[in-house]
């Protein structure tokens, strides 16, 4: 708390009133109604805003302006040998870390008929037929085993084209958990399939929709 030579704390409201009156002194033609409005407004602020908060807030901000020091982008001190451990927990701003999955055990949970039902969630954007058309999303006929972003007459996102991995059982499973988190920048707006049985079943169904289905592990 700042103090005067008389050991009394500085009253920020008194300072503001002093500044206010000083400014008004330079404008002798200011109407009395303006003076009253300004004074009444400050008196109202005194009732609403706690004195201690206003006093400390104002003085701190004033000190920040007066003694401003630009913060460095990187720490000037580096501790040798210090390593940051990764937790493996993904967030929206971090690159995801995919946990190892026993794909054989996962696919064993699947069921073709259930997968067909689950795939109905996809039919608003995708066809899955031999010679089928691209819709909002590409035709998914033969997608298992195909390279991501490889259908020539479909305009993929840059992220999907750059991804360019084979849609293996493992990759498809990881992608379907949360597509937008797995491939940042994908156009696919689908939220994902959280249940393992749903993912396993729909992967089996998509694999069956191919001229040459991939052998199961």
Q: Report the domain count for the chain.
A: 2
Residue 96 lies in a domain: no
For residues 127 and 179, state if they share a domain: yes
The mean per-residue pLDDT over the stretch 41-57 comes to 57
Of 29, 50, 83, the one marking the end of a domain is: 83
Residue 54 lies in a domain: yes
Highest mean pLDDT pick, 15-19, 47-51, 64-68:
15-19
For residue 30, the model assigns a pLDDT of 58
Rounded alpha-carbon distances, angstroms, from residue 68 to 46, 53, 71, 73: 28, 21, 9, 16
**% of the chain exceeding 90 in pLDDT:** 53
Of 32, 50, 83, the one marking the end of a domain is: 83
For residues 204 and 112, state if they share a domain: yes
For residues 110 and 198, state if they share a domain: yes
For residues 204 and 118, state if they share a domain: yes
The mean per-residue pLDDT over the stretch 48-75 comes to 49
Q: Does residue 182 contact residue 148 with C-beta atoms inside 8 Å?
A: no
The mean per-residue pLDDT over the stretch 28-38 comes to 65
Nearest to 108 by CA among 196, 208, 20: 196
For residue 47, the model assigns a pLDDT of 61
The mean per-residue pLDDT over the stretch 61-80 comes to 47
Residue 12, pLDDT > 70, answer no
Range of the domain at 175: 103-208
- How does residue 48 score in pLDDT terms, banded at 50, 70 and 90? low
For residue 37, the model assigns a pLDDT of 73
- How does residue 135 score in pLDDT terms, banded at 50, 70 and 90? very high
For residues 28 and 114, state if they share a domain: no
Residue 71, pLDDT > 60, answer no
pTM reported for the whole predicted model: 0.56
Which of 5-19, 51-65, 132-146, 185-199 is predicted with the least confidence, judged by mean pLDDT? 51-65
For residues 117 and 74, state if they share a domain: no
Domain at 149, CATH number = 1.10.760.10
Residue 92 lies in a domain: no
Helix (H, G, I), strand (E, B) or coil at 90: coil
Of 34, 50, 83, the one marking the end of a domain is: 83
Beta bridge partners of 9: 3
């Amino acid at each position: 708390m700042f103090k005067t030579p008389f050991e009394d704390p500085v009253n920020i409201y008194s300072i503001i009133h002093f500044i206010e009156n000083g400014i008004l002194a330079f404008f002798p033609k200011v109407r009395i109604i303006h003076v009253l409005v300004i004074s009444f407004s400050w008196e109202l602020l005194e009732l609403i805003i706690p004195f201690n908060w206003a006093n400390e807030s104002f003085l701190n901000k004033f000190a920040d302006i007066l003694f401003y020091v630009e913060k460095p982008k990187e720490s000037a001190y580096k501790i040798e040998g210090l390593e940051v451990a990764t937790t493996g927990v993904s967030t929206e701003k971090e690159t995801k870390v995919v946990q190892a999955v026993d794909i054989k055990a996962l696919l064993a949970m699947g069921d073709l008929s259930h997968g067909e039902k689950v795939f109905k969630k996809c039919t608003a954007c995708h066809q899955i037929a031999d010679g089928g058309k691209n819709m909002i999303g590409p035709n998914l006929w033969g997608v298992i085993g195909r390279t991501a972003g490889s259908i020539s007459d479909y305009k993929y996102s840059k992220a999907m084209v750059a991804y360019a991995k084979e849609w293996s059982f493992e990759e498809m499973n990881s992608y379907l958990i949360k597509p937008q988190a797995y491939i940042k920048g994908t156009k696919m707006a689908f939220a994902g399939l959280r249940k393992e049985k749903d993912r396993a079943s729909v992967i089996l169904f998509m694999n069956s929709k191919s001229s040459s289905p991939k052998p199961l592990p």
